[in-house]
Amino acid sequence: MRLRLRYSARGDAKIIAAWLSREEVYQWWGGAPVPLEEVLAKYIGDRLPEVAVYVIEKAGRPVGLIQAWQDDGCGLDMFIAAGEQGRGVGPAAARVLAEDLTARGWQEVMVDPAVDNVRAVRAWERAGFAPTGERGVDEDHETQLMVFVSRVDTARSST
C-alpha cells in the first residue's frame, strides 16, 4: 500500500469537512458534523508546532486525517474517510507516524480510542499500540489509553 502523510493545507478544508459530515466518521470524532469554519480553525496546518495535522494519501488520493500533538504527553488522533475504512489504511498510517515520532525523540506516543469503538482499538493494536490499563472519558465515550510499543506487521490487517 502506497501511503503518504503530508501537512494539511487550506485546500484540504472542504474534503475534511465532507469526511466529518459522515456519521461513520463523526460518531467517533465529536459526535456531530464539523462545519467548514471549525475545520479551517482546527485541522489546517496553522496549529504547528503544538499540533501537526496530516492528510493521509493512498495512491495519491486523500483518504483520511491523522494528527500528532504534544502537551503533558504525546498523542495521536486519526480518522479514515467512510469509504476507505476497513482497508488497512489506519494501522499503516499510524505505524508510519508513530515510528517517525519516536525516531525523532518523542517519548510514549499515546492514543485513547473509545472502548466501544472496537474497529479503532484493533487498528491501533495492529499499528503497534498496547493498552496500558488506564481508562478515561472523552466526548462522553469511555476510552482506553494505549501506548506505542513496537513495529508490527500490518500486512495482515483487515482494517
Cell 499499528 belongs to which residue? 127
Span 29-43, pLDDT tens digits: 999 999 999 999 999
Rounded to an integer, what distance in angstroms lies between the CA atom of residue 59 and that of residue 88?
A: 13
Give the Cα-Cα-Cα angle 119, 120, 126 (nearest 5 degrees).
90
Q: What is the 3-state secondary structure (H, E, C) of 27-64?
A: CCCCCCCCCHHHHHHHCCHHHCCCEEEEEEEECCEEEE
SS3 label, residue 66? strand
Which residues of the chain carry a pLDDT beneath 50?
A: 153-159
Tell me how far apart the alpha carbons of residues 104 and 14 are, in angstroms, rounded to a whole number: 31
Residue 151 has a pLDDT of 57
Write down the pLDDT at residue 141. Answer: 87
Cα–Cα distance for residue pair 2/75, rounded to 1 Å: 24
pTM of the model: 0.89
CATH superfamily of 3-156: Gcn5-related N-acetyltransferase (GNAT) (3.40.630.30)
Using DSSP's 3-state secondary structure scheme, residue 134 falls into strand
Give the three cell numbers for residue 135: 481508562
SS3 for 19? helix
pLDDT at 49: 82
Beta bridge partners of 124: none
